[in-house]
């Protein structure tokens, strides 16, 4: 019987487009899935999207679309990125699929019937206009983090999962599974969280509707995390008689450190309650910052994996993410760092090795690997490297697995240099040198296949091995095989040239296109009332009239104008600016003013034009 292996990524929210964080988890899981398949394990690899909950409902509203339409659009972006990164998932689950819904309701019902889910009241701070509860930590000053209004203390009816009942069972489980969470430091955090005591978990909501209905009470939708975690068993049709995939459970979950508690505490407790075996392992990785800062849309430093693939190629991007930072720790992404890695590890070490071997064999052996057997030094070193890389992989230590491979690449490069094949007159010595280097290179391609599938395939084929990457197919001795030199594997980045290109790019960036201008909807408007905003020197609340519409605009012109002198003025506004809250007042638009030091002067039109007229 083949050993089976089930690996998952978190399922990604569809309110955001894919970024480096999503790519990182998925690349790590893909590398491990490829590694296990190559080693002969019967492997199942799952990824997918998390499509329910208030976050998605709100994002859909902001995009003036329905949640399912938003999900349908964003899911394509994820699927396309996984294709571009050559991700080999066996299935892709969406939580809006009926196959998933069925499982969630089944487990919810089972836990309810056995008394592990009960109806209670969720107490929290509520914002009525936003229809949201907030905890004291989310809103320490009791004002809404979204709109700034004062919060009310309210109770919402909610179903609760009796998590508190599972504290001891979880602690026992952790004790008997000492590698349940890696890295170990994170496991310690989980254990001390559970030891401090667990509170029952609210698992339903009544304040919005985008979710899976509680099967016996359709006023409630199931809490999005209770829903989402179940994807790992619904996708494999767990426990169903004719399921071909049920046998893969339990799984190894790769997750970011921020969602470890859900996977290492709530999820195993839900499973134990449901009479299902907990996951095999949860592997938590760290977070990426970008060019030294936390990634954020407003800073504009979110790393887009698609653009990285276009700039550097998918293999280099995959390699960089797993090589530059120990899995489990935080890391910083920078263009300089990825270029440095490509230059030193890929172009210099690996690319150069291939190039030297192919050139030497072409020149000295008519392009054929010399016919020699028994290459003890190269083979012994390969076996050592293979063993240590495998030990690292079992611990999800991608970095050290790659380091072992690179030590072998360096050894092979040095072996060639030390033998000085260009000066060798002894034919047998020359043959041994060339064959050793070629055999080593072939083995390196096998080792690299899970990490850099394209490069590994190219090297293997150029050494005339057309078989599939499986360790069962691997032959150390490839004497007589033809070696094709082909194009260079990796191009070096020239940092000096980059400086010039950056300057040109900066120049380009200072211009905007006509499309950017066309996005602005400028209109004339007449000010009908104006009042100072309490407690603010600068802000004035204006009511303006457009043709058939009145709007409130809060403008920072209070130091240059008195409210009275504003009434009746015809001004110019940006009409399609998204509404913003300023000191608790919603502002719908922005007026245009010229500034000269501290003085502001409102822009207006020089003929009598109707209010609400468009400006081109």
Strands 550-555, 540-545: pairing kind: antiparallel
Taking CB under 6 A as the rule, does residue 21 contact ligand MSP?
yes
Query: Cβ closer to ligand MSP: 255 or 430?
Result: 255
Cα separation, 225 vs 229, in Å, equals: 6
Min dist. Cβ of residue 12 to ligand MSP (A): 4
Strands 288-290, 91-94: pairing kind: unpaired
Taking CB under 6 A as the rule, does residue 193 contact ligand MSP?
no
Taking CB under 6 A as the rule, does residue 368 contact ligand MSP?
no
Taking CB under 6 A as the rule, does residue 13 contact ligand MSP?
yes
- Select the residue interacting with ligand MSP from 27, 38, 229, 357 (CB under 6 A): 229
Query: Cβ closer to ligand MSP: 295 or 322?
Result: 295
Q: Report the 10 Å Cβ neighbour count for 359.
A: 12
Taking CB under 6 A as the rule, does residue 22 contact ligand MSP?
yes
- Select the residue interacting with ligand MSP from 6, 7, 11, 533 (CB under 6 A): 11
Structure tokens at 403: 């380091």
Strand partners, 205: 221
- The piece of 69-77, 81-89, 163-171, 225-233 that touches ligand MSP (CB under 6 A) is 225-233
Query: Cβ closer to ligand MSP: 12 or 451?
Result: 12
Query: Cβ closer to ligand MSP: 25 or 455?
Result: 25
Instruction: Say which residues have a Cβ less than 8 Å from residue 506's Cβ, sequence separation at least 6.
Output: none
Instruction: Say which residues have a Cβ less than 8 Å from residue 428's Cβ, sequence separation at least 6.
Output: 372
Residue with the closest Cβ to ligand MSP? 256
Strands 91-94, 4-13: pairing kind: unpaired
Taking CB under 6 A as the rule, does residue 377 contact ligand MSP?
no
Report the b/e string of 590-611 with b at 16+ CB within 10 A: bbebeeeeeebebeeeeeeeeb
Query: Cβ closer to ligand MSP: 53 or 453?
Result: 53
Taking CB under 6 A as the rule, does residue 396 contact ligand MSP?
no
Q: 440: closest CA among 519, 491, 381?
A: 381
Instruction: Check whether the bond before 250 is cis (ω within 30° of 0).
Output: yes
Cα separation, 396 vs 596, in Å, equals: 59
DSSP label at 166?
Answer: G
SS3 (DSSP) at 515 = helix
Min dist. Cβ of residue 65 to ligand MSP (A): 19
Query: Cβ closer to ligand MSP: 204 or 455?
Result: 204
Report the b/e string of 512-545 with b at 16+ CB within 10 A: eeeeeeeeeebbbbbbeebeebeeeeebbbbbbe
Query: Cβ closer to ligand MSP: 35 or 225?
Result: 225
Provide the CB-side half-sphere exposure for 126 (13 A, CA): 13
- The piece of 197-205, 254-262, 348-356, 480-488 that touches ligand MSP (CB under 6 A) is 254-262
Taking CB under 6 A as the rule, does residue 256 contact ligand MSP?
yes
Taking CB under 6 A as the rule, does residue 81 contact ligand MSP?
no
Taking CB under 6 A as the rule, does residue 324 contact ligand MSP?
no
SS3 (DSSP) at 65 = coil
- The piece of 7-15, 271-279, 431-439, 463-471 that touches ligand MSP (CB under 6 A) is 7-15
Min dist. Cβ of residue 583 to ligand MSP (A): 31
- Select the residue interacting with ligand MSP from 10, 124, 183, 313 (CB under 6 A): 10
Alpha helices (H) in 39-166, listed in sequence order: 54-62, 67-84, 98-113
Query: Cβ closer to ligand MSP: 311 or 329?
Result: 329
Main-chain phi, psi angles of 546, to 5 degrees: -105, -170
Cα separation, 291 vs 313, in Å, equals: 20
Taking CB under 6 A as the rule, does residue 228 contact ligand MSP?
yes
Q: How many residues lie near ligand MSP (CB under 6 A)?
A: 19
Taking CB under 6 A as the rule, does residue 50 contact ligand MSP?
yes
Query: Cβ closer to ligand MSP: 21 or 211?
Result: 21
Structure tokens at 534: 């309490």
Residues 283-312 touching ligand MSP, rule: CB under 6 A, are 287-288, 295
Q: Please report, as ranges, the residues that interact with ligand MSP according to CB under 6 A.
A: 10-13, 21-22, 24-25, 50, 228-229, 231, 255-256, 258-259, 287-288, 295
């Amino acid at each position: 019987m083949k050993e089976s292996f089930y690996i998952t990524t978190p399922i990604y929210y569809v309110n955001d487009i894919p970024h480096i964080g999503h790519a990182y988890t998925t690349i790590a899981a893909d590398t491990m899935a490829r590694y296990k398949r190559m080693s002969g394990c019967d492997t199942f690899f799952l990824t997918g999207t998390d499509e329910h909950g208030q976050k998605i409902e709100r994002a859909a509203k902001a995009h003036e679309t329905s949640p399912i339409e938003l999900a349908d659009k964003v899911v394509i972006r994820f699927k396309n990125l996984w294709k571009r990164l050559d991700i080999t998932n066996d299935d892709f689950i969406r939580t809006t699929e009926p196959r998933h819904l069925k499982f969630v309701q089944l487990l919810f019902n089972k836990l309810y019937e056995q008394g592990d889910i009960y109806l209670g009241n969720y107490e929290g701070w509520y914002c009525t206009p936003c229809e949201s509860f907030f905890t004291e930590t989310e809103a320490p000053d009791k004002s809404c983090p979204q709109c700034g209004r004062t919060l009310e203390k309210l109770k919402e009816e909610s179903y609760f999962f009796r998590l508190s009942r599972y504290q001891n069972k979880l602690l026992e489980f952790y004790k008997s599974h000492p590698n349940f969470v890696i890295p170990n430091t994170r496991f310690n955090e989980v254990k001390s969280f559970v030891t401090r005591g667990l509170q029952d978990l609210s698992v339903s909501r009544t304040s919005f509707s985008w979710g899976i209905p509680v099967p016996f009470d359709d006023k409630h939708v199931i809490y999005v995390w209770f829903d989402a975690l179940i994807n790992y068993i619904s996708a494999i049709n767990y426990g169903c008689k004719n399921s071909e995939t049920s046998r893969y459970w339990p799984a190894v979950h790769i997750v970011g450190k921020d969602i470890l508690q859900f996977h290492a505490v709530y999820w195993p407790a839900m499973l134990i309650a449901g009479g299902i075996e907990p996951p095999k392992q949860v592997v938590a990785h760290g977070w990426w910052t970008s060019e030294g800062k936390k990634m954020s849309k407003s800073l504009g430093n979110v790393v887009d994996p698609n653009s990285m693939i276009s700039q550097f190629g998918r293999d280099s991007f995959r390699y960089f993410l797993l090589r530059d930072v120990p899995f489990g720790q935080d890391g910083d992404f920078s263009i300089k760092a990825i270029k440095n890695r490509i230059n030193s590890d890929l172009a210099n070490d690996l690319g150069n090795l291939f190039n030297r071997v192919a050139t030497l064999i072409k020149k000295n052996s008519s392009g054929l690997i010399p016919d020699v057997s028994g290459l003890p030094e190269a083979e012994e070193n390969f076996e050592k490297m293979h063993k240590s890389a495998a030990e690292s992989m079992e611990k999800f230590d991608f970095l050290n697995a790659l380091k072992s491979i690179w030590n072998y690449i360096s050894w092979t490069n040095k072996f060639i240099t030390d033998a000085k094949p260009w000066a060798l007159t002894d034919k047998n010595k020359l043959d041994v040198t060339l064959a050793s280097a070629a055999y080593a290179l072939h083995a390196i391609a096998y080792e690299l296949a899970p990490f850099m599938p394209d490069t590994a395939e190219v090297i293997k084929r150029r050494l005339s091995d057309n078989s599939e990457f499986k360790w069962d197919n691997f032959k150390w001795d490839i004497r007589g095989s033809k070696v094709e030199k082909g194009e260079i594997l990796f191009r070096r980045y020239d940092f000096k040239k980059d400086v010039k290109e950056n300057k040109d790019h900066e120049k380009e960036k200072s211009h905007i296109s006509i499309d950017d201008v066309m996005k602005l909807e400028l209109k004339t408007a007449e000010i009908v009332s104006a009042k100072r905003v309490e407690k603010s020197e600068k802000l004035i609340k204006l009511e303006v009239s457009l043709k058939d519409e009145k709007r409130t605009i809060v403008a920072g012109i209070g130091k240059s104008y008195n409210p009275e002198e504003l009434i009746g003025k015809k001004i110019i506004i940006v009409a399609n600016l998204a509404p913003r809250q300023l000191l608790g007042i919603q502002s719908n638009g922005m007026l245009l003013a010229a500034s000269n030091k501290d003085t502001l002067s409102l822009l207006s039109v020089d003929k009598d034009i109707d209010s609400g007229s468009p400006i081109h």
